[in-house]
Structure 1
Amino acid sequence: MRAVISLASRSLAAMSVMVSMSCTAAPQQAAAQPPGFPDLGGFALVPVDAYLAEPGRGPRFAYFSTPYNIQCLFEAGEPIPAWSGQGISCHGDMPDGDPCVVGTAAAAGSGPAYAITRTADKCGTPFTRGALLNSGQKVSFRNATCAVGADRLVACLDTTSGQHGFVLKPSGSEAF
């Protein structure tokens, strides 16, 4: 009986130490943004309400346009299932096109990664759906954040399943 009481006492003491350590452990840092992705902390957050479009049916989306002839959207409905991404998509004049390439940056199939593709749209086609998101601003809803920067920068991050999204910029656009 003494052996059982001794074992129970040691187990209880060990559990107390583990609980105490977990309560005092340093907080975990947020996941780092992908290499080459701009620091979103340097952009002014604007309320998503100005960019919402209420559909007749189906999910609600946030739409915005940029000063660079690119329009973007992402799902901003309630609720968004935990397993579902928000479908960030930008379409328009790609900043690294020479002289002009119209393309789309969006989710690549059913996985979490994003891709940039060319489209058959003609250069000069206006891509202006949604309210203007100015340089230096960002808009965010749940796991989707998009920012517009100087020098034709457009960057979007989807953190639903890790760190995925894209950066559109003259020095080279990239999806991840």
Structure 2
Amino acid sequence: MIRIRGLHRLLSNNRDTDRAGPTGKIASSGTRCRTSGVGEHPMNERHRKQRYFGRTVGIRRSAIAAMAALLLAGVMLGSACTREATADPVAQFPDLSQLTLLDAGPFVWTSRGHTQIRFAAINGYVCVFGDASNPRNVSLYGQELFCDKRIESTPQGNCRYQQITRTSKADKGPFKLDETDGGYCLEQLDGAPPLPVGNRLSSGTITCGVGADFAACVDATGETRHGFVIRPSGNDLF
């Protein structure tokens, strides 16, 4: 009877250990607790620790593998973004001096004493810049330069444009891609003659040209160069 009772107690301890977590609490009732290693058979304690630490190591390994995968994906994405972001648009700007310089006369548009040079580029853009020979076209901010593409016309005679324009006229800063909110239509854009491929126009500090797969403009004032390149694959602004 003594041996049977001892065996019964040992089996009972094993069942309690299987139901207990690493703290010794029995999951079924939540009320019975033991301090680890007190009142347990050494084999049960070792078995319990092996199971607990085995699960812990497995969880840790899974977590580390998941974190490594996320870090690798982040590095690959970051590398792709870095290649795009670090591409120097100034260094990649086409050499417009290789294009044939045309007389700007046929491209001049005059309105209310102002004269502008305009031409139809690619991708639906029409580019306009000030005629430096007319003092009224050169303000404190220098010559105006922008390219617009009409994306919507309303019955009320308003137009929405996708526009390449300066981020700041005051400091003749870099160019940005913007969108107008549907104001008046720019009459100088209508009927603008196309600039043939392989040619350029120039006035003052601004030069624009059209190549086989691009249209580009640059404003070189002193040591500062800002401009843009329009391509079927996208625009580069600087």
**TM-score, normalization: structure 2?**
0.48
Report the alpha carbon displacement of residue 34 of structure 1 after superposing the two structures with TM: 2.5
Equivalent residue, structure 2, for 1:116: 176
Report the alpha carbon displacement of residue 60 of structure 1 after superposing the two structures with TM: 1.4
Distance, in Å, in 1 between the alignment partners of 2:202 and 2:109 is 15
Q: 1:142 aligns with which of 204, 223, 238?
A: 204
Q: 2:90 aligns with which of 17, 20, 34?
A: 34
Report the alpha carbon displacement of residue 43 of structure 1 after superposing the two structures with TM: 1.0
Query: Which amino acid is the alignment partner of residue 47 of structure 1?
Result: D
Structure 1 unaligned regions, length at least 5: 1-32, 94-101
Structure 2 unaligned regions, length at least 5: 1-88, 151-160, 183-188
Report the alpha carbon displacement of residue 171 of structure 1 after superposing the two structures with TM: 3.8
Q: 2:129 aligns with which of 74, 83, 105?
A: 74
Equivalent residue, structure 1, for 2:142: 85
Equivalent residue, structure 2, for 1:158: 219
Distance, in Å, in 2 between the alignment partners of 1:82 and 1:128 is 24
Report the alpha carbon displacement of residue 88 of structure 1 after superposing the two structures with TM: 1.0
Equivalent residue, structure 1, for 2:236: 174
Q: How many residue pairs end up in the alignment?
A: 131
Conservation of the 8 A alpha-carbon contact between 1:105 and 1:114: no
Q: 2:106 aligns with which of 42, 47, 50?
A: 50
Is 1:107 aligned to residue 166 of structure 2?
Answer: yes
Distance, in Å, in 2 between the alignment partners of 1:37 and 1:48 is 22
Equivalent residue, structure 2, for 1:132: 194
| RMSD (Å) for aligned C-alpha atoms | 2.8
Report the alpha carbon displacement of residue 83 of structure 1 after superposing the two structures with TM: 4.9
Equivalent residue, structure 1, for 2:13: none
Q: Which has the larger radius of gyration?
A: 2
Q: 1:62 aligns with which of 117, 137, 156?
A: 117
Conservation of the 8 A alpha-carbon contact between 2:107 and 2:192: yes
Identity rate, percent = 26
**TM-score, normalization: structure 1?**
0.63
Report the alpha carbon displacement of residue 50 of structure 1 after superposing the two structures with TM: 0.9
Conservation of the 8 A alpha-carbon contact between 1:85 and 1:158: no
Query: Which amino acid is the alignment partner of residue 103 of structure 1?
Result: Q
Report the alpha carbon displacement of residue 56 of structure 1 after superposing the two structures with TM: 2.0
Distance, in Å, in 2 between the alignment partners of 1:34 and 1:115 is 12
Distance, in Å, in 1 between the alignment partners of 2:234 and 2:107 is 28
Report the alpha carbon displacement of residue 85 of structure 1 after superposing the two structures with TM: 2.2
Q: Cα distance 1:82–1:159, how it changes in 2: closer, same or farther (>3 A)? A: farther
Q: Cα distance 1:104–1:135, how it changes in 2: closer, same or farther (>3 A)? A: same
Distance, in Å, in 1 between the alignment partners of 2:106 and 2:99 is 17
1:49-90 superposed Cα distances (whole Å, 9 cap, x missing partner): 111112223x31111112532101011042365853211101
Report the alpha carbon displacement of residue 36 of structure 1 after superposing the two structures with TM: 0.9
Q: Cα distance 1:89–1:82, how it changes in 2: closer, same or farther (>3 A)? A: closer
Distance, in Å, in 1 between the alignment partners of 2:145 and 2:203 is 11
Equivalent residue, structure 2, for 1:14: none
Three-state SS of the structure 2 residue aligned to 1:41 is helix
